[in-house]
Structure 1
């Protein structure tokens, strides 16, 4: 599929027809990895190994987009897909050579009805949130239609899953408070952490005026912080109650996000680096703790389903987070620009592509008084989003306290 994406001459064609196949294959990697950990390692070693895998996940979440930007700028966007072909070949060899299992195999029945209804519901919600207030008014027929489709297919999904023999999401697991809380936290962490990976490079490029490559490298401190947090969380989860670890995670993530929300164009790069490390350290705990908590005290045959549900909730949070907070940032930016340029004849009041204005060639063409206003507007819109993310962070703290009342706080 990566090769098919690379040879496609039109990006929208590759995204429409080939990215779903890549998603189906790649989406299974993380759940399978954590399930294997629980199958082959004794309880006293699972925490350490979960921390290592969580650190790899956090590392790849930040390093992947950075490498993608470098490859696109230096070689071409096709190589973002081509580079995965040799990696896939090596992976297939390693799996065939070293991955041996002795399990009782039985025929599996794919829940096609659940998969289709879930995809339609989620995609409809994304279209409604992405197009609402931009291409169409919130009360327009198109947006109301997407919301209606989301509600209808979402309801059908819940009905179908309750009757399916092998459902995509086993709702009976949510009766376990530890499992249910882990899914909520995965959703909230996913929806806020991705905002940092998206908007901090934009802030560096647009406000500081640095190149796209330099803006990508700015995520390195957050990457380091997340790796450290994941390792500590994984190592200590068999020794320290889960509630205490989650408290450290939430406080650190909240503090880092609050500091980022108070940035301005005058904030030094050193301070931005520190703020990112604090945020990354806090969210890093979730990479190792939440998958382990999801599988805690479950029979081996349910571990894969539990872990895949946790991975799905995190991915869903990331998807909706980018859509919702991206819409907020665009609206705030538009309003700030309109206020800044009100009464100034000939000054722009709308920005189609915010990053285009801050490219090196375009930036030098903008008069200083206009440029400063645009920079302030961009800075305020991004920090506004960081401030809005504090609300989900506080919710994480509320749910984190529930872990203290659950059984199995030593995972």
Structure 2
């Protein structure tokens, strides 16, 4: 039988309790550490990459250090979710932590770029299970009605990772060497591993059906093809090249085959019935768009600040504080209001409006825009993202049965990941094209030659350029960010359109009223015990 204080079981702690048992708070601490591992890693490693290339060489393979990690993360995300649903959340989550730590240790010991790429892929396999595991376990432990209280905690971890990543990465690389950018994961991961092992006690499961291996292969190939298209298109290969066309064809064929097979598999990797719920489908769309906008903004805002406003790499991270701070505050407010009232439909609507307005304002920035003005614009964008970041996961989890909690969490995470890949790729294509065009227009052949060598210069390198070239480059970057943010604003309008059709189904937990029967009714809570 389960001990409701020392052993935490899914759904067994009623939301009416005024105070959570200590064990639940300890588990939440461990989950936040694991979440930070997944989010912090790329930002720390990104800062260390110039030093890594300087020691290991292989500059031509630099992009694969990130691409290998991203591919493995995206492809494994839905698989981790399904494994948790089939065989138990705790075991799959601990396995993902171990794989991530093994990949981190091996990456720190890499002797050449080939090894580093391979070990980063191992690390990415584990990272795919970290975020899914965190969201799914929180979904098991805390009823949706109360989950809003913890949105601020998750948003805080995200903000800390975005701000602290570059700072920590630079400090570690300068003082300890780039290998510690990977080794730093080991003590943090060990703490999370120990806490989860000791305190978290979820029901053990054993599915009668086997793993859907064909579904796994089809989904992995399909997702890999999509990510490679968005990564290579417009950079290593032209969008109309044979290689990109082949990848698109492979992606379409395998994903169509995957959907067909999921209707026949005994234990499908991604049960299609969850998409019959209107709210879940809408949250998947909103999550995709949020990922599209957020990662595009966090990529091109620092570039604008460094190239046009003259900020250093470290300061450009700190200059994102208005956006991240606004996102954190709004997320906390949204969580509290949702917990107290049980109402949430207004947040995606307001978030869609603010996100579109914020991106439009950012698109108006020019070479003379002050940091104060850009900070206000970023705060508007942050307010919009704060209304959306955790609400999408909350509503998605509330729209499925407990047995599909892992699949729902992984699907929502996957759509956000794919959205970020598309956002970075499409915004990047627009940005690079505009930069090259303006440079050629303002600086002639010299400008064209410079953009072929590099489409992004830091503030220190920029000061070494002749005044004419420097001014042309600043105008080019300003024009490029304008195009990227106009696209982002147009895409963000779709969030508002999708949010209008969300049906406000009562959240499971304390204070929730019985749901009307129908396809959008919230499924009952399934109480499980260890």
Q: TM-score, normalised by structure 2?
A: 0.71
Which of residues 358, 372, 375 in structure 1 aligns to 2:458?
358
> By how many angstroms is 1:55 displaced?
3.9
Which of 389, 410, 418 does residue 308 from structure 1 map onto? Answer: 410
Q: Following TM superposition, by how much is the alpha carbon of 1:165 offset from its aligned partner in structure 2, in angstroms?
A: 2.8
Counterpart of 2:518? none
SS of the aligned residue for 1:263 comes to: coil
Shift of 1:307: 1.1
What is the aligned counterpart of 1:267 among 363, 369, 372? Answer: 369
Cα distance change on mapping 1:132 and 1:190 into 2, 3 Å: closer
Distance 2:244 2:400 in 1: 41
1:407 to partner: Cα distance: 3.7
Say yes or no: does 1:369 pair with 2:472.
Answer: no
Cross-structure match for 1:278: 380
Q: Residue 397 of structure 1 corresponds to which residue in structure 2?
A: 496
Q: Which shifted more, 64-73 or 271-280?
A: 64-73
Larger mean CA deviation between 292-301 and 310-319 belongs to: 292-301
- 1:10 alignment partner in structure 2: 112
Residues 106-156 of structure 1: CA distance to partner in whole angstroms, max 9, x if unpaired? 467433333332232233233334444444443332222122112222222
Q: Secondary structure at the match of 2:365?
A: coil
Partner-residue secondary structure (3-state), 2:389: helix
8 Å CA contact retained: 2:307, 2:462: no
Render the CA deviation track for 1:10-36: whole Å, top value 9, x for unaligned.
Answer: 345322x12232222222223332333
- 2:264 pairs with 1:178: no
Q: Which moved more, 1:304-313 or 1:34-43?
A: 34-43
SS at match of 1:160: helix
Segment drifting more, 2-11 vs 197-206: 2-11
Superposed counterparts of 1:218-257, under 5 Å: 218-238=319-339, 239=341, 241-257=343-359
Using the TM superposition, give the Cα deviation of residue 218 of structure 1 relative to its aligned residue in structure 2, in angstroms. 1.7
Output the CA distance in 2 between the equivalents of 1:137 and 1:378.
21
Q: CA deviation at 1:398?
A: 0.1
- Describe the shift of the 1:159–1:74 C-alpha distance in structure 2 as closer, same or farther (beyond 3 A): farther
Query: For the aligned residues, what is the CA RMSD?
Result: 2.5
Measure how far apart 1:368 and its partner are: 1.0
The residue matched to 1:341 in structure 2 has which SS? helix
Match of 1:96 in 2: 197
Structure 1 distance, partners of 2:384, 2:114, is: 36
Partner of 2:421: 319
Contact 1:51 1:287 in 2 (8 A): no
2:214 equivalent in structure 1: 113
CA distance in 1, matches of 2:317, 2:262: 41
- Asked if 2 retains the 8 angstrom alpha-carbon contact of 1:338 and 1:350, the reply is no
Whole-angstrom distance in 2 between the partners of 1:130 and 1:46: 35
Give the structure 2 partner of residue 126 of structure 1: 227
| Structure 1 gap ranges (5+) | none
Q: Does residue 357 of structure 2 align to residue 258 of structure 1?
A: no
Q: Secondary structure at the match of 1:366?
A: coil
> What pairs up with 1:139-150 in 2 under 5 angstroms?
139-150=240-251
Distance 1:165 1:19, change over 3 A: farther
Aligned with residue 161 of structure 2, among 43, 46, 60: 60
Q: How far is 1:313 from its partner?
A: 0.9
Distance verdict in 2 for CA 1:71–1:392, change over 3 Å = farther
Residue number among 321, 330, 339 corresponding to 2:441 in the alignment: 339
Stretches of structure 2 lacking an aligned partner (at least 5 in a row): 1-102, 513-521, 523-530
Q: Show CA shifts across 1:59-110 (max 9, x none).
A: 4355435533553455443222111011111111111222222445446743
Aligned length: 406
Aligned to 2:48: none
Please state if 1:48 is matched with 2:169.
no
Aligned 8 A contact 2:108 2:182 in 1: yes
Q: Report the Cα offset of residue 253 of structure 1.
A: 1.4
Q: TM-score, normalised by structure 1?
A: 0.90
Q: C-alpha separation between the residues in 2 aligned to 1:150 and 1:262?
A: 37
| Cα distance change on mapping 1:195 and 1:347 into 2, 3 Å | closer
Q: 1:193 aligns with which of 294, 309, 316?
A: 294
Q: Aligned equivalents of 1:119 and 1:241: distance in 2?
A: 37
SS in 1 for 2:387: helix
Match in the other structure for 2:517: none
The correspondence of residues 24-43 of structure 1 with structure 2, limited to 5 A, is 24-43=125-144
SS in 2 for 1:376: helix
Using the alignment, how far apart are the partners of 2:212 and 2:161 within structure 1? 30
